[in-house]
Amino acid sequence: MRSSSGEARYAPVVSASAEVDAEGRVARAAEIAARLRENIETVVHGKTEEIRLVLSALACGGHVLFEDVPGTAKTVLARAIAQSVEGAIPSRIQCTPDLQPNDVTGLSIYNQKVREFEFQPGPIFANVVLVDEINRAMPKTQAALLEAMAEQQVTTDGLTRRLPSPFLLLATENPIEYEGTFPLPEAQLDRFFLKTSLGYPSLDDELLIIDDQREHHPLATLEPVVTVEEVEQLSAAVRDVYLDPLLGRWIVELVRATRESPAVAVGASVRGSLALERAARGWALLHDRAYVTPVDVEHLFLPVLGHRVVFTPKTLADARRTGWDVALAEFRASTLAAIPPPSSVFESDHQEPAAG
């Protein structure tokens, strides 16, 4: 339906009791998310929307790739998330060309006292894992992360071991240094739920950062504000966010349009459709809404799909001339123009939506 301002408003059409239950769960989850975000913002200043993106990935069980220059608070963000969740364990993996898969997953070491091999978990066994400069690791080490990202488990010595929950992997790659790097293959990029960057802070925020760290780093006094159980409630509530069937169809049409775009050699996979649909629900939840709007989908188009497509050589050549941000913006604009959002959704007392 449309509001008095003429803006299309997408709202659920559900039975009264089901709507109250779902909205109650979403409201509680939104409060948990707001508490978590506000705590993180005490140490990562001026990055509200970027933090919401990362927390959306956390709520949806996805992982984030940062393409950013050094010194933009990526490590601080990872540690702040972990410290904000009571009992959560942070970990950092610094990737280098000689990093081996066992350095990530762990290995079995012979214990002479008991005369048995004992498994020593690697740094991947943590709740929030920062993989720094992932493109400096060899392909076989990068591949060791795939099972952890996709299945939340690792297999070593023929045994499969579950990773702790919640599990969030934040990987970084440096866009200005390519010597000694191993570019991530398209199949691995597709495993990342979304890709974003933090970027440099504003002048006022940078002054605030300097002031905050005059005596000690604010991470030293950051206290947990949510429990692991509350993070699980946040994840469960994503399913309660209403996505109208017309919007669901539009999401699939957008992803399919990337496969036919003249600027693209290989479009986004079905995994892109799944990620965009779930990310839209998580993004709405992080904005304290129990339903998804077309604006949510439009905002998430590039963070979710931009890294999942392979552009043509001509597009890449044009991007070197105009800048990558401009090329991505043109790709987004052309796709959204080709597949516009549905104009409105009408409520009906006789029709219930598909299960959300």
Question: Residue 349 carries which DSSP code?
Answer: T
**pLDDT at residue 14 tops 70:** no
Mean pLDDT, the chain, integer? 86
pLDDT bracket for residue 353 (50, 70, 90): very low
How far is the C-alpha of 181 from the C-alpha of 164, rounded, in Å?
30
> Does residue 312 register a pLDDT over 70?
yes
Three-class HEC string of 178-219: CCCCCCCCHHHHCCCCEEECCCCCCHHHHHHHHHHCCCCCHH
pLDDT for 1 equals: 41
DSSP codes of every residue in 82-110: HHHEET--EEEEE--TT--HHHHHEEEEE
The whole model's pTM is what? 0.85
For position 180, what pLDDT does the model report? 65
The answer on pLDDT for 34 being more than 60 is yes
262-277 pLDDT tens trace: 999 999 999 999 999 9
Of the candidates 189, 181, 93, 192, which has an alpha carbon nearest to the alpha carbon of residue 138?
A: 181
pLDDT tens digit sequence for 157-216: 888 999 999 999 999 887 766 666 778 888 788 889 999 999 899 999 999 999 988 888
The share of the chain scoring above pLDDT 90, in percent, equals 58
At 352 the pLDDT is 41
Helix axes 270-286, 294-305, angle to 10 degrees: 130
Predicted confidence at residue 295, as pLDDT, reads 94
Task: Say how far apart CA 102 and CA 123 lie, in whole Å.
Answer: 10
Per residue in 141-160, pLDDT (tens digit) is 888 888 899 889 998 888 89
In this predicted structure, what is the pLDDT of residue 215?
A: 84
pLDDT tens for each residue of 62-113: 999 998 888 888 889 999 999 999 989 899 999 999 999 999 999 888 888 8
Rounded CA-CA distance 333/339 in Å is 10
pLDDT at 17 over 60: no
Between helix 16-40 and helix 48-60 the angle, nearest 10°, is: 130
| pLDDT at 280 > cutoff 60 | yes
Reference 296, options 22, 52, 107, 38; nearest CA is 52
Q: Which two tokens stand for residue 94?
A: 């610094």
Confidence of residue 2 (pLDDT cuts 50, 70, 90): very low
